Amino acid sequence: MALQFTITGVLLAAVTAATELPVAKPGCQDRCGNVSIPYPFGTGEDCYYDSKFLMTCNHTFNPPKAFLGTGSLEVTEITLDGKLRIMHSIATDCYNRAGAPTRGNIPRINLPVQGPYVFSDTDNMFVAIGCDTLAEMRGIREYKNDTYLVGCISRCSNKTYVPNTCSGIGCCQTSIAKGMKSFEVSVSSYNNHTGIWEFNPCSFAFIIEEKQFS
């Protein structure tokens, strides 16, 4: 499953009117692999508006990949309406037939506290997939370091009755808070997937752009 490894989310950047310019500054790199780099973003000195708009183009990949600042957040698109699309990991919780854990992780993303970026509450949603699933997202908002916790539960005993919609049976979803600067996603199980292991050995949880999710 592609969802097991990476997923697209949306950042909002409170950028200046210069975002309307569809090109890089003269003499500056305007692309990194498949990603267009318009001003105020830039990949080199004197090519970005200020250090908050630095993009690192990593040429060890083929094609090269763009990363926000000097960090590890991969940027897949920069739109002219002030949005960035990024890739991030998915929380996973897996078991074997006997109910022993085989794989799990707790992804976390931190945006620069003083930077212009927040996760878009209008474009993104929090989703959990699985039939023995408790998923939680712990977030920190930009307002006075405000922390909060949100989550959802999905339980089912037979995949025959799992619908093709995210309605609480095999999949649940909820909105995220406005102004979120960082988050941590975790997913756990009530019964270690015993009794449903044959069709559902794992649970997953993630933030995803709503229009990209099916």
144-160, pLDDT tens digit by residue? 678 889 999 999 988 88
pTM score:
0.85
Q: In CATH, what is the architecture of 91-212?
A: Sandwich (2.60)
- What are the tens digits of pLDDT across the range 103-130? 999 999 988 777 788 899 999 999 999 9
Question: Could you tell me if 8 and 119 are in contact, meaning their C-beta atoms sit under 8 angstroms apart?
Answer: no
Phi-psi region of 182 (alpha: psi -120 to 50; beta: other; left: phi over 0): beta
Q: What is the DSSP letter of 27?
A: T
Structure tokens that stand for 94 in this block = 């897996």
Is 173 a residue whose pLDDT tops 80? yes
| pLDDT higher than 80, residue 68 | yes
- Give the type of residue at 68: L
Among 102, 125, 113, CA closest to 174: 125
Average pLDDT of the residues in 179-201: 94
Domain limits of the chain?
7-87, 91-212
Q: Which residue has the higher pLDDT, 189 or 88?
A: 189
Q: What is the amino acid identity at position 54?
A: L
Three-point CA angle 174, 15, 89, nearest 5°: 40
Write down the mean pLDDT value for the chain: 86
22: pLDDT confidence band, cut at 50, 70 and 90? low
Confidence class for position 140, pLDDT limits 50, 70, 90 = confident
Per-residue pLDDT, averaged over 67-78, amounts to 91
